Structure 1
Amino acid sequence: MFKRIWKRLGLVVGISLSLLVAGCGSNGGSEGGAADEGKIKLVYVEWDTEVASAHVIKKVLEDQGFDVDITPVDNAVMWESVAKGEADGMVAAWLPATHGDLYEEYKDQLEDLGPNLEGAKIGLVVPKYMDIQSIEELDQYAGKLNKTITGIEPGAGVVKSAENAVKTYESLKGWQVQTSSSGAMATALGEAYKNKEPIVVTGWSPHWKFAAYDLKFLEDPKGSFGKEEHISTIVRKGLKEDMPKAYKILDQFSWTAEDIEQVMLEISEGSDPAKAAEDWVEANQGKVAEWTKGVE
């Protein structure tokens, strides 16, 4: 317990020092007075989706003349730093479930600009060539899959939901969720897909694997994985008054799973995140124009 507390304190100190070095004092809340219009500080959790979105919005803001600092942090620190005004915002809030407890803790200290991406979800994912549609049909592949679901890191939300599904569905009696890492799961999926072998993985969307392979979520009639989520943009209070142009761009930022998966796929294939973001922005000027509409 104490180890977790010290770890969180260390993360808080780390983000505070990082933001201070980046010049946090110029726009960190009421004591700092009016903000520097050219500087903005964003935080994100280092998931594939948020690496992509953070770098894309950074590129868009930079093209509008802003000096943008993006910092990867722990989930809790991400919310806390925006709530305290140590960071200006984030485009990485998974709601209503994944970050629901953090939203409830800090919602009165933040401004929610609403979804920037709809239809995010988690569940069990299989290749489309597998002739099943529901979790209740997985028992047809019990022998070929050795009653094993290929998971990611222990403790991840999608893993916990998969473990709950194993307890809930009669068709999964005797099955196990084999935990490893996101990378190992993706490798196993790629190898199985190449050989057209059956596989079931803990999955979430958006994710680059949906751009790389023909996959499907299995229907979840018992609701073990919850309902669809959205990814929201959250900013500190006072940002609209301090940096109206940046606020407007963040407020108008909205894209689709197909959009973000293009960026994620390029990164997964070895591209630097900044380069992948630059490529996407260049190829999607019409959509970017919607985000920057009305910004002088």
Structure 2
Amino acid sequence: MLTKPRNIRIAGLALMAGAGLIAGAAQAQDKGTVHLAYVEWSSEVASTNVVRAALEQAGFEVNMTALSAAAMWQAVATGDADAIVAAWLPTTHAEYMERVGDQVEDLGVNLDGTKLGLVVPAYTDVDSIADLNDHADAFNGEIIGIDPGAGLMGLTEDVIDTYGLDLRLRSGSDATMVAALSNAISNEEDIVVTSWTPHWMFARWDLKYLEDPEEVYGGAEQIHTVVRQGLADDMPEAYAILDAFEWTPEQMGEVMLMNQEEGADPYESAQQWVEENQDVVEGWING
């Protein structure tokens, strides 16, 4: 006589406990959505996906939007995006910071040790930008660039003017630049491209930066995290994670190389890296 009611009571308690766990999990995951903007450079694809995976581990939903550099900065300034971890300062994105700096919040450096410039295969018999005109024909009279809105492209236009180069700057994307470089190296041809460190291509090929005696490209830069105004009030935990996010060129390089494997998905690579580097990620989440 007592068995059936007891079983019902136990089942009821189990259902209540299960419902409580589900509700708790839902509550833990219901922290809101963080909107991240980025520019489709291999370095920024890596970093933005890693930050996405870290924020998701902390219970946030995350949306990512790929934009041109100018549109990326504008999105944060207007509040259409919550954050970027792809601000190259003080030189590459100086124009954008000048334009919208009073509408955003700079959380500081997330990666130190970057460089910009013109890059050639190590076998190329040119060592300085100042000597490019003497070898213009070997480079088909052109410099292979990336997306036209990138600060690196604007600096390269300044380089062409400063050195009086007889080479035209051809715009494209990170992917088209790398494809042109790969094809030239396969055929042992000369090529000059706009590039930056960190980038996975330096791990794949033997390359060198051309000397920049006029220092148009400036010295070493850092990559900063920049957020919209009001994020600290609206989403303090997400703000704290973004503020704590910091890693090394070597760590970024690991993710970029993972992304170059055949069939690799940048988000899955980021998830794998986050899982394998929990000591680092927990520092961002709990720091």
Fold agreement, TM-score > 0.5 = yes
- The within-5 A match list for 1:282-293 is 282-293=275-286
Alpha-carbon shift at residue 285 of structure 1 (Å)? 2.8
| Structure with the greater alpha carbon radius of gyration | 2
Q: Does the 8 Å contact 2:181/2:193 carry over to 1?
A: yes
Q: Does the 8 Å contact 1:120/1:229 carry over to 2?
A: yes
Q: Write out per-residue CA displacement over residues 17-70 of structure 1, whole angstroms, 9 at most, x where no aligned residue.
A: xxxxxxxxxxxxxxxxxxx97123222133223222221101011112222222
2:3 maps to which residue?
none
- Report sequence identity in percent: 47
Structure-1 separation of matches of 2:67 and 2:171: 23
1:200 maps to which residue?
192
TM-score by length of 2: 0.75
Structure-1 separation of matches of 2:40 and 2:214: 27
SS at match of 2:124: coil
SS at match of 1:287: helix
Match of 1:283, as an amino acid? E
- The within-5 A match list for 1:269-284 is 269=261, 270-284=263-277
1:53 maps to which residue?
47
Alpha-carbon shift at residue 117 of structure 1 (Å)? 1.5
1:40 aligns with 2:33: yes
| Structure 1 counterpart of 2:251, from 255, 259, 262 | 259
- The within-5 A match list for 1:44-123 is 44-48=37-41, 49-123=43-117
Alpha-carbon shift at residue 274 of structure 1 (Å)? 0.9
Q: Write out per-residue CA displacement over residues 83-131 of structure 1, whole angstroms, 9 at most, x where no aligned residue.
A: 4444432212222233323323333333211011223332100123335
Structure-2 separation of matches of 1:74 and 1:188: 21
**Cα distance, 1:42–1:231 mapped onto 2, change above 3 Å:** farther
Unaligned 5+ residue runs, structure 1?
Answer: 1-35
1:214 maps to which residue?
206
Structure-2 separation of matches of 1:164 and 1:250: 33
TM-score by length of 1: 0.73
SS at match of 1:41: strand
Alpha-carbon shift at residue 211 of structure 1 (Å)? 2.8
**Cα distance, 1:152–1:235 mapped onto 2, change above 3 Å:** closer
Structure-1 separation of matches of 2:92 and 2:252: 19
Structure-2 separation of matches of 1:238 and 1:152: 33
Alpha-carbon shift at residue 230 of structure 1 (Å)? 2.0
**Cα distance, 1:102–1:175 mapped onto 2, change above 3 Å:** closer
Q: Does the 8 Å contact 2:93/2:151 carry over to 1?
A: no
Q: Does the 8 Å contact 2:36/2:62 carry over to 1?
A: no
Q: Write out per-residue CA displacement over residues 251-284 of structure 1, whole angstroms, 9 at most, x where no aligned residue.
A: 1111223322332333344411211111222333
SS at match of 1:227: coil
Match of 1:287, as an amino acid? V
Q: Does the 8 Å contact 2:30/2:59 carry over to 1?
A: no
Q: Does the 8 Å contact 1:152/1:159 carry over to 2?
A: yes
1:162 maps to which residue?
156
Give the superposed CA RMSD.
Answer: 2.9
